């Protein structure tokens, strides 16, 4: 069973997701304006999430997911993750999901930079990618602000990437 390392940024602590975070994560992921851009665009249930957490996530050494907690109020601001196809893979895929009330304050940039810093230091990776639905303009803009550029398009998804 794995445990995600604790990461710290200027305004946040990123700690590994736990089973007790299910309600928060399911609520964030159940927003139709968010899940419509996912690969499997459906509303997930708490049961599905817990099943994934217990039977896949905690055993999967290829990925880490973190709850980002704002240091002053100790309130969660979103969920951020990183995964790779196998342990020796040199590219890692980033994911981000910010609670709407924290938008436009730079929290997501700060958290993703923290996650990329972890990858650059601890994994044998030389690049990060983000798979973004071609209509998800907010996410594309966000990735570009972080220095990602378009690497390719497959169907409805654009692959953005950047060197670490």
Ligand X SMILES: CC(C)(COP(=O)(O)OP(=O)(O)OC[C@H]1O[C@@H](n2cnc3c(N)ncnc32)[C@H](O)[C@@H]1OP(=O)(O)O)[C@@H](O)C(=O)NCCC(=O)NCCS
CA distance 21 to 34: 18
User: Are 25 and 42 within 8 A, CB to CB?
Assistant: no
Residue 79 zone, left/alpha/beta (φ > 0; ψ -120 to 50; rest):
beta
**Nearest distance, CB of residue 41 and ligand X, angstroms:** 11
Spatial distance between the Cα atoms of 162 and 150, rounded to a whole number of angstroms: 9
Give the residue with the Cβ less far from ligand X, 91 or 139. 139
In the complex, what is the shortest distance from the CB of residue 127 to ligand X, in angstroms, rounded to a whole number? 16
With beta carbons less than 8 A apart as the criterion, state whether 63 and 3 touch: no
Nearest distance from C-beta of residue 51 to ligand X, angstroms: 22
* Binding residues vs ligand X (CB under 6 A): 34, 37, 96-98, 103-109, 130, 132, 136, 138-139, 142
State the residue number with the nearest CB to ligand X. 106
* Closer of 54 and 144 to ligand X (Cβ): 144
Instruction: Tell me whether residue 1 or residue 33 sits nearer to ligand X (CB atom).
Output: 33
Q: In the chain, where do the E strands start and end?
A: 7-8, 12-16, 63-70, 75-83, 91-98, 127-133, 149-154, 157-163
Nearer to ligand X, 4 or 28 (CB): 28
4, 65 contact by CB (below 8 A): yes
SS3 call for 44: coil
Q: Which is nearer to ligand X, 106 or 152 (CB)?
A: 106
**What minimum distance in Å lies between the beta carbon of 82 and ligand X?**
13
Taking the complex as a whole, the smallest distance from the CB of residue 95 to ligand X amounts, in Å, to: 6
């Amino acid at each position: 069973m794995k445990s995600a390392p604790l990461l710290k940024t200027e305004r946040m602590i990123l700690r590994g997701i736990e089973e007790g975070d299910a309600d928060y994560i399911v609520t964030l992921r159940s927003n139709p304006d968010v899940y419509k851009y996912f690969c499997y665009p459906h509303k997930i249930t708490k049961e599905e999430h817990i099943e994934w957490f217990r039977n896949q996530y905690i055993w999967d050494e290829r990925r880490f997911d973190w709850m980002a907690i704002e240091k002053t109020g100790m309130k969660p601001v979103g969920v951020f993750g990183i995964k790779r196809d196998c342990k020796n893979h040199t590219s890692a895929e980033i994911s981000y999901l910010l609670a709407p009330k924290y938008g436009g304050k730079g929290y997501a940039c700060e958290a993703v930079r923290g996650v990329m810093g972890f990858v650059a230091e601890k994994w044998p990776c030389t690049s990060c990618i983000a798979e973004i639905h071609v209509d998800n303009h907010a996410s594309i803009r966000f990735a570009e602000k972080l220095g990602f550029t378009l690497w390719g398009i497959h169907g409805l998804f654009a692959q953005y990437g950047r060197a670490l």
